[in-house]
Amino acid sequence: MDNLRVEGVILLVALLPGFLCARLIQSFCVRPEQTELDKVTESLLYSFVVYVIFVVMCGSNFPLSVTVAAGNGIQRYDVSLHPKQMVELATIALLVAAFVGFSVTNDVSGRIFRVLRLTQRTSRGSVWSDTFHDLHGVVQVGLKDGRMIMGWLRFYSDEPAEQSVFLERAAWVNPANPGVGKD
């Protein structure tokens, strides 16, 4: 039973950088809804990426070492954490998350794949993100009741179901005289 506890701790420490990386990416950029299985799979992939970078850059010392001593029919486990390697793994996870967040937010990978004609898709999470990310200036918004409002786009919702925008210096568009706003 003790063997399972030790292996569980080792597994947790091994997977923690990938889960940290995935969580940071979710906070850095808009991602489509994921099932729990998708989240775990993504975290496992990020764990692999983080450890590959860790081994290439820092060597192969694992951040946790376990020594098993047997005597008098009892196995004793000594678990040692190596803080330097833990900090290195956390730093790599943060840098990978920042890179992926930047890439997704600015559609870097999507642009590259579109130039190579490998896809027509974007890497951004929503149509709102695609539409408004690089748009700076005046927009005109049609409301459900038929009214129109115009203003400088400041903020927008990344959730397609929410469909919210915040306009600065907004004015109602007068259908009788489209160039003049009314109060």
What is the structure's pLDDT at 4?
65
pLDDT in tens, 37-79: 999 999 999 999 999 999 999 877 777 777 878 878 777 777 7
- In this structure, the number of other CB atoms found within 10 A of the CB of residue 177 comes to 9
- Alpha-carbon span 46 to 32, nearest angstrom: 17
Q: What is the mean pLDDT of the chain?
A: 82
Q: What mean pLDDT do residues 120-134 have?
A: 72
User: Distances from the Cα of 128 to the Cαs of 83, 97, 135, 157, in angstroms?
Assistant: 42, 22, 11, 7
Closest CA to 98 of 23, 148, 149: 23
Query: Is the pLDDT score of 169 beyond 80?
Result: yes
Positive or negative, the CA dihedral 124, 130, 136, 139 is negative
The pTM for the full model equals: 0.72
- Alpha-carbon span 140 to 130, nearest angstrom: 17
What is the structure's pLDDT at 176?
64
Q: What mean pLDDT do residues 124-128 have?
A: 69
- Using a pLDDT cut of 90, give the percent of the chain over it: 24
- Using a pLDDT cut of 70, give the percent of the chain over it: 89
- Alpha-carbon span 59 to 84, nearest angstrom: 12
Radius of gyration for the chain, computed over Cα atoms and rounded to the nearest angstrom: 25
Query: Is the pLDDT score of 128 beyond 80?
Result: no
Query: Is the pLDDT score of 1 beyond 60?
Result: no
